Amino acid sequence: MGSVLPAVAPTVSFRSRRPVVVALLVLALVLVVACTGTAGKVWACFAALADVHWAYLVVLAVLSVLHYVLAAITLRAAAGARTPLGETVLVQFTAAAANRVTPGGLGAAAVNVRYLSLHGIPAARAVTLVAVMQVAGAVADALVLLAIAALSAGGGAALGTLASRAAQAVGSLPVVPAVLLALVPAGIAVLYGRRAMRSPALRHAAAGCVDLVRRPRDLCLTLTASGATTLVMAVALAVSALAVPGTGVTPADFWVVVVAYLVGAAAGAALPSPGGVGGTEAALTAALAAIGVPAAPALQAVLLFRAITYWAPVPVGLAAARTLAKNREHPVGEPARRTMEGCEPTGTA
């Protein structure tokens, strides 16, 4: 397992991946065009952004930073390691930048594994801890969605509407494609699920989950902070919808938009594109449209949301990585200095 770190290290090398980032931006635009139907609508959406209530940008920026603070708290709690909070927050910005060029959160996982291992945690255990954090995140998101659906009438109605729209979309497919759409993923899940059940990685992850359960304080903090990271992003989408004229969203629709975010983000994350680029924008736009937001304002709100919470942190992450790499004075000594080197964005080790 010690070879994991060198294998994943290139995922945080950004200098050679700038063309990839540009390509991702183009891909996102192309998929959004496909979602809305015509290029003219997209250009109209960009032009309409000039009418956005820009005072909401401050709120969006604060929510974005809070998201990374909560992510740092989640990592510390899941690992049971009291790493410096400020340093861990910077690492989360770096992890976010790595995620922009890797699918399935592999970039962030690589950065977090390196960070934990260079803070004295064995590499194999660091991999397990990061996997446990991701499992806890999925559980926390499900709990947040269920709680909102149960406690909020608007949230429950929105969830029912989204489920109905999804069923209608599947029902409108011809019989053969619909059957294939159901059987192919099921077959793949059965085939690889059996292998996964026998894999050492799954056993290690299960052991890590058991270990976290035996630490009730850390478990509670992990689930709370992880759920809060998702909830903060949902609030940011609601704020973006409030900022864009024509959405028809009011503060009373808060929980409805939150549910739309939870469902849309989950659908976008299921796509294997790096960082969910393109798919997430399309899924969030479709989710907002499903709850009654007009298509063009919905797209404007999603573009504003993604610009502030997804793309704006990238240069912050690159700057954070350089700061960590150059910082040679740290109270925890040599492991911290190695951690700074490990997060250097231009490294290829």
Mean per-residue pLDDT over the chain, rounded: 76
Distance CA 137, CA 156 (A): 22
Under 8 Å CB-to-CB from 111, ≥6 apart: which residues?
11, 12, 91, 94, 95, 98, 343
Structure confidence at residue 234 as a pLDDT band (50, 70, 90): very high
Asked whether the beta carbons of 331 and 285 are under 8 A apart, the reply is no
Distances (CA, A) of 140 to 13, 74, 190, 225, 264: 31, 11, 25, 9, 16
* For residues 112-126, average pLDDT: 90
Distance CA 328, CA 311 (A): 29
161 CB-side CA count, 13 A: 19
Residue 104 φ/ψ region, left for φ over 0, alpha for ψ in the -120 to 50 degree band, beta for the rest: left
Helix (H, G, I), strand (E, B) or coil at 212: helix
233 versus 327: which is more confidently predicted? 233
With 0-12 / 13-18 / 19 or more C-beta atoms within 10 angstroms meaning exposed / middle / buried, residue 121 is buried
Structure confidence at residue 85 as a pLDDT band (50, 70, 90): very high
With 0-12 / 13-18 / 19 or more C-beta atoms within 10 angstroms meaning exposed / middle / buried, residue 343 is buried
Percent of the chain with pLDDT over 70: 63
pLDDT for 61: 94
pLDDT for 13: 46
pLDDT for 188: 57
pLDDT for 107: 85
Asked whether the beta carbons of 347 and 10 are under 8 A apart, the reply is no
pLDDT for 331: 42
Indicate the range of 204-218, 310-324, 330-344 predicted with least confidence. Answer: 330-344
> What six digits make up the tokens of 58?
């401050």
29 versus 248: which is more confidently predicted? 248
> CA 327, 328, 329, 331 torsion: positive or negative?
positive
pTM comes to 0.75
DSSP result, 23-89: HHHHHHHHHHHHHHS-HHHHHHHHHHGGGS-TTHHHHHHHHHHHHHHHHHHHHHHHHT----HHHHH
| Intra-chain end-to-end CA distance of the chain, in Å | 16
Distance CA 44, CA 37 (A): 12
pLDDT for 348: 37
Query: Tokens 């609601």 belong to which residue?
Result: 238
Helix (H, G, I), strand (E, B) or coil at 19: helix
